[in-house]
Structure 1
Amino acid sequence: MDPAVKVLLYFLVVGVLGEQTPAFDRTDAPSVTWPDWMSFLPDYIPLSSLAMPGTHDTMAFYGGPLAECQIWNLENQYRAGVRFLDIRCRHYQDQLPIFHGVSYQRTYFLQVLQDTVKFLTEYPSETILMRLKEEYEPYQNTRSFYKSVAEVLSQVGEHWFLRTNSLPTLGQARGKVVILQDFSSKGEGEAFGPPYPGPMSISDAYQVSDDAVKLAEVERHLTVAQNGDPDRAYLTYCSGVHWILYTPEGLARKINPRVLEYLNIKTSVARRRSVGIVIMDFPGAELVRKIILDNWM
């Protein structure tokens, strides 16, 4: 059989049946779950110092190969152990639908928060860090993005959100959502949470023309995190795209296994802290677990 035909058949089969490996998952649910891993950590630990699995464009399930970044629904992400979300809302007629670029993701910010509250009700030992970003172009609004966010938070219940200017300790944040505010509140009122990016150290080289270069940057920043300020948050995005060379899924197939290798062989010599927040597309359950375990390494 022609090699090109073999490759085409492989991707057709994977697209229908899914694929599940330790570092990459294209199936509906993780093979292993750890929904209460934060319950094993002491209250005094700053969230900024925790190793935490995260997902890039957390709700990006639709829109074709260049837009789709995840396969697990939000409940399964939480149960797998994901604790950092990347939530992007378009401000559309005073509502907050979830978008990735131009692609509507068939849900709203309110539903994301309701699903989150449901999880936190079941597992009050946990906390969720939520980057909240205004996405794409606003359309026919009578109020600011800030005011629309405030209305949704009020609908859900303000007590579910920890309003703070800096990342708190785990004990202060248990059972709550901490919003990382990636939009302006100037002239509006109190911020919803710490500013994003603010004082955080972030590696987000999302335009990728060479996966080896991307991997080197990921590994560099993971190393920086381990030797960095224990009171500073370090966010490493393993995700990326190129409109010709790499879809988010295609890059994740290459990068995620290498990140797992890095975590398996990294040295603990002279480490000051964890690898920080590791943000992925299509993560596998073992990769998620390995990031969590770094809190005890």
Structure 2
Amino acid sequence: MNRTVILLLYVLVIEASGEQTPAFDRTEVPSVTWPDWMSYLPDYLPLSALAIPGTHDTMAFFGGPLAECQSWSLTNQYNSGVRFLDIRCRHYQNRLPIFHGVSYQRTDFFQVLNDTVTFLTEHPSETILMRVKEEYKPYQNTRTFYQSVTEVLNQIGEHWFLRSESLPTLGEARGKVVILQEFSSEGEGPDFGPPYPGPMSISDAYQVTDDSVKWADVERHLTVAQNGDPERAYLTFCSGVHWLLYTPESLARRINPRVHDYLINKTPLRGRRRSVGVVIMDFPGAELVKQIVLDNWV
């Protein structure tokens, strides 16, 4: 049996078992919930300056080890404190099913937004940043991706979405979804929200051959964010994959604890102007989510 087969079998055995630690969680329910943490922050703060927990490929629950990125349902992610979503829609027969690469995730954009509105109805102090991206190959459509997104938003209700060219303050965004738009609206109509990536500072080295190199990039960007412009959003992706060396889960087991330790042990930076920004993870542990939130008061 060659080394590649042995490695893949090892990964499948390790990742088949549920595990819940402060920084990593492969179970269905977070150990700690904090569904109203934004209610403790003042309205005048710009969203761009907040420390916000996020999930990479938020709805990626199916497709095998190389495709699966989360184990908490969307509602449980919200309850844990997650406020940034990474939503990937395939344009398929004028509908918007959720995909991760080639893998269908057994839900669609309407359901994601419907669950989001349900959460915001119960927790109106909160806001959701939602990156929306067209994923995989379009198939048999008679309209544009923009038009299909427009239809879904109209079905949900336009009043749930804050259309803004830049990230608003927390007070302006409470109870609403702020879409970060990663698809074209040229010649179609107004943008749904701030462009992604636009002027944001983003660290997203997702092709990983060495987890130490990946961690060095994450740590560097977390430090950059704390000294950055409060009006500019800083997004740090802790996620990554390699078809042979790392699945999303195996990398998260290595990176998430380092992020957790960084947040607990970091000393105040001289001249620090803001928080660590948006921290985006695969399989985050509830205590890690909590530590990101707490950075808003450090």
In structure 2, what is the equivalent of residue 291 of structure 1? 292
> What aligned pairs does 1:257-296 form with structure 2 within 5 A after superposition?
257-270=257-270, 271-296=272-297
CA displacement, residues 169-225 of structure 1 (integer Å, 9 cap, x when unaligned): 000000000000000000000000000000000000000000000000000000000
Gapped regions of structure 1 (runs ≥ 5):
none
In structure 2, what is the equivalent of residue 92 of structure 1? 92
Q: Which amino acid aligns with 1:89?
A: C
In structure 1, what is the equivalent of residue 196 of structure 2? 196
- 1:13, CA displacement in angstroms? 6.9
In structure 2, what is the equivalent of residue 37 of structure 1? 37
Question: What TM-score comes out, normalization by structure 1 length?
Answer: 0.96
How many residue pairs match? The answer is 292
Taking the aligned partners of 2:218 and 2:79, their CA distance within structure 1 comes to: 25
In structure 1, what is the equivalent of residue 133 of structure 2? 133
In structure 1, what is the equivalent of residue 174 of structure 2? 174
Question: What TM-score comes out, normalization by structure 2 length?
Answer: 0.96
Taking the aligned partners of 2:11 and 2:231, their CA distance within structure 1 comes to: 46
Contact (CA 8 Å) 2:50, 2:277: kept in 1 or not?
yes
Contact (CA 8 Å) 2:241, 2:248: kept in 1 or not?
yes
In structure 2, what is the equivalent of residue 15 of structure 1? 16
Contact (CA 8 Å) 2:11, 2:250: kept in 1 or not?
no
Q: Which amino acid aligns with 2:194?
A: P
Contact (CA 8 Å) 2:15, 2:249: kept in 1 or not?
no
Taking the aligned partners of 2:191 and 2:269, their CA distance within structure 1 comes to: 39
Q: 1:160 to 1:77 in 2, by over 3 A?
A: same
Taking the aligned partners of 2:66 and 2:12, their CA distance within structure 1 comes to: 16
Taking the aligned partners of 1:208 and 1:171, their CA distance within structure 2 comes to: 38
CA-atom RMSD in angstroms: 1.6
Taking the aligned partners of 1:228 and 1:169, their CA distance within structure 2 comes to: 17
- 1:15, CA displacement in angstroms? 1.8
In structure 2, what is the equivalent of residue 71 of structure 1? 71
- 1:269, CA displacement in angstroms? 2.9
Contact (CA 8 Å) 2:24, 2:283: kept in 1 or not?
yes
Using the TM superposition, name which of 269-278 and 43-52 deviates more: 269-278
- 1:149, CA displacement in angstroms? 0.0
Percent identity over the alignment is: 78
- 1:12, CA displacement in angstroms? 3.5
In structure 1, what is the equivalent of residue 113 of structure 2? 113
Q: 1:66 to 1:79 in 2, by over 3 A?
A: same
Any idea what SS the aligned residue of 1:296 has?
coil
- 1:11, CA displacement in angstroms? 6.3
Q: Which amino acid aligns with 2:32?
A: V
Taking the aligned partners of 1:9 and 1:139, their CA distance within structure 2 comes to: 36
CA displacement, residues 121-173 of structure 1 (integer Å, 9 cap, x when unaligned): 00000000000000000000000000000000000000000000000000000
Q: Which amino acid aligns with 1:63?
A: G
Q: 1:8 to 1:100 in 2, by over 3 A?
A: closer
In structure 2, what is the equivalent of residue 236 of structure 1? 236
Taking the aligned partners of 1:10 and 1:185, their CA distance within structure 2 comes to: 41
Taking the aligned partners of 2:10 and 2:199, their CA distance within structure 1 comes to: 47
Any idea what SS the aligned residue of 1:279 has?
strand
CA displacement, residues 92-133 of structure 1 (integer Å, 9 cap, x when unaligned): 000000000000000000000000000000000000000000
Using the TM superposition, name which of 268-277 and 122-131 deviates more: 268-277
CA displacement, residues 62-98 of structure 1 (integer Å, 9 cap, x when unaligned): 0000000000000000000000000000000000000
Q: Which amino acid aligns with 1:145?
A: F
Any idea what SS the aligned residue of 1:85 has?
strand
Any idea what SS the aligned residue of 1:181 has?
strand
Taking the aligned partners of 1:8 and 1:192, their CA distance within structure 2 comes to: 44
Contact (CA 8 Å) 2:12, 2:65: kept in 1 or not?
no
CA displacement, residues 13-34 of structure 1 (integer Å, 9 cap, x when unaligned): 7624x10000000000100000
Q: Which amino acid aligns with 1:44?
A: Y
Q: Which amino acid aligns with 1:293?
A: L
Taking the aligned partners of 1:207 and 1:40, their CA distance within structure 2 comes to: 37
Taking the aligned partners of 2:160 and 2:250, their CA distance within structure 1 comes to: 36
Taking the aligned partners of 1:44 and 1:29, their CA distance within structure 2 comes to: 33
CA displacement, residues 203-258 of structure 1 (integer Å, 9 cap, x when unaligned): 00000000000000000000000001011000000000000000000000000001
